[in-house]
Amino acid sequence: TWTAEAFINDAIREVRAQVGDKRVLLALSGGVDSSTLAFLLHEAIGDRLTCMFIDQGFMRKLEPERLLEIFRDRFHINVEYVDAVDRFFAQIDGVTDPEEKRRRIGHEFINVFETESQRLGPFDYLAQGTLYPDVIESANTNVDPKTGERVAVKIKSHHNVGGLPENLRFKLVEPLRKLFKDEVRNVARLLGLPEDIVRRHPFPGPGLAIRIIGEVTQERLAILREADHIVREEIRRRGSYDDFWQAFAVLLPVRTVGVMGDRRTYAYPIVLRLISSEDGMTADWSRVPYDLLEAISNRIVNEVRGVNRVVYDITSKPPGTIEWE
Ligand code: XMP
């Protein structure tokens, strides 16, 4: 029978045998897969692992700080923080089409990854948090005809990332490739990952940029980040984080009329998207208690300048999608 303990011991042995004294690069996103991979590889090869964390500027409030605090300060894992906030923003400035936003973010990710891996390298291996379901539908790897090893031609971190350039065809280290998601979580726990990472909701690679409908501006990003933070604070406060597959806010690029004191306001509406799901392929809007909706709504309207209305999305998937873009 499968146990997380036996898996970890075998994986450490296999990684050491595969990598020898070479260096390994890992693109760390803060999600459960790449985080578990980082902990596992750190056990196996210590400082010969370099994690690259590219901050695109579209993460949730306090998440970049939290990630560095855990990996670097608490667990002494080698993390290179790449501040690419301005670069990514410049790429999507004025872009309104959802797929075009994704394409540009994915493309910029490759550019930054390429530059930084050359600066930090050379690396022989690229570690990827490929899971068993990814292997089954895998079109993102090739087999090197000479050595039989899998080599990366794409990076997994985003759905829509373009191909890797020829000179970046790393050999792959994929110790999680036989695992399902729930097994990854068990491995993560045993490796000592904090519970908030182990149980983290899925978060899209392009992040908050696809939760601002249409044009992303600094003002909208700041507003959405605060509103989103309140959603999470309120569901955590009630101990209901695990009741949801995802729980987040979306900003609509329109303004509606409201009233505050004796003044008329004209500001953005925020959509709440709270859903349950098994795998993200289908999803149901969550029948949450009214008092939770009320608490979130009151706090957002009172605390976030620029928002005067909160609405609740009662569309399941299908026919809706989980994200609004
Ligand atoms: P949809 O909106 O298609 O989302 O119902 C299904 C799941 O996929 C996530 N998602 C993404 N993840 N890059 C990602 O890494 C993306 O561009 C992207 N779009 C959607 C979404 O959060 C949900 O979990």
Please check whether residue 223 lies inside any domain of the structure.
yes
Please check whether residue 226 lies inside any domain of the structure.
yes
Q: Which helix (H) or strand (E) holds 156?
A: none
User: Which protein residues are within 6 Å of ligand 1, measured from CB?
Assistant: 102, 158-160, 202, 204-206, 246, 280, 317, 321-323
**Residue 279 domain boundaries:** 211-312
* 78-114: pLDDT as tens digits: 999 999 999 999 999 999 999 999 999 999 999 999 9
* 138-149: pLDDT as tens digits: 655 677 766 777
Which residue of 158, 273, 317, 322 sits with most ligand 1 atoms within 8 Å of its CB, as the best mutation to test the pocket? 322
Contacts of 123 (CB under 8 A, 6+ apart): 22, 23, 24, 25, 50, 117, 170
Beta carbons of 79 and 51 less than 8 angstroms apart: yes
Ligand 1 centroid distance, CA of 83 (Å): 24
d(CA 31, CA 87): 22
Residue 240: predicted pLDDT: 97
Ligand 1 centroid distance, CA of 84 (Å): 22
Please check whether residue 121 lies inside any domain of the structure.
yes
Q: For residues 40 and 108, state if they share a domain.
A: yes
The helix-helix angle for 181-190 and 32-45 (nearest 10°) equals 50
Q: Which of 143, 166, 198 is the last residue of a domain?
A: 198
* Residue 99 vs residues 91, 161, 207: alpha-carbon distances, Å: 13, 12, 13
Q: Which of 150, 175, 198 is the last residue of a domain?
A: 198
* 10-27: pLDDT as tens digits: 999 999 999 999 999 999
Q: For residues 181 and 288, state if they share a domain.
A: no
pLDDT of 250 above 50? yes
Domain of 166, CATH number, reads 3.40.50.620
| Closest residue CA from atom 10 of ligand 1 | 204
Phi, psi of 156 (to 5 degrees): -80, -25
d(CA 218, CA 289): 33
Residue 148: predicted pLDDT: 72
Q: For residues 149 and 12, state if they share a domain.
A: yes
pLDDT of 161 above 60? no
Give the residues across from 81 on adjacent strands: 53
Q: For residues 10 and 127, state if they share a domain.
A: yes
Q: In which residue are the tokens 């110790």 written?
A: 175
The whole-number average pLDDT for the span 26-35 is: 96
Q: For residues 189 and 237, state if they share a domain.
A: no
Which residue of 104, 159, 271, 285 sits with most ligand 1 atoms within 8 Å of its CB, as the best mutation to test the pocket? 159
Residue 169: predicted pLDDT: 78
Task: Show the tokens assigned to 96.
Answer: 């309104």
- According to DSSP, residue 158 is labeled S
Rounded to a whole number, what is the largest CA-CA distance in the chain? Answer: 75
Q: Is 103 helix (H, G, I), strand (E, B) or coil?
A: helix
Q: For residues 236 and 259, state if they share a domain.
A: yes
Q: Which residues are annotated as a binding site for ATP?
A: 29-35
Q: Which residues are annotated as a binding site?
A: 29-35
Task: ipTM value, please give it.
Answer: 0.99
d(CA 62, CA 50): 22
Residue 77: predicted pLDDT: 98
| Closest residue CA from atom 3 of ligand 1 | 321
Q: For residues 188 and 222, state if they share a domain.
A: no
| Closest residue CA from atom 6 of ligand 1 | 280
Ligand 1 centroid distance, CA of 67 (Å): 21
Q: For residues 194 and 240, state if they share a domain.
A: no
Q: For residues 232 and 144, state if they share a domain.
A: no
DSSP codes, 30-87: SSHHHHHHHHHHHHHHGGGEEEEEEE-S-SPTTHHHHHHIIIIIIT---EEEEE-HHH
Residue 74: predicted pLDDT: 97
| Closest residue CA from atom 18 of ligand 1 | 204
Domain count, the chain: 2
Q: For residues 190 and 238, state if they share a domain.
A: no
What mean pLDDT, rounded, does the chain reach?
94
Domain of 222, CATH number, reads 3.30.300.10
Q: Which of 140, 175, 198 is the last residue of a domain?
A: 198
* 199-211: pLDDT as tens digits: 999 999 999 999 9
Residue 160: predicted pLDDT: 44
For the chain, what percent of residues have pLDDT higher than 90? Answer: 87
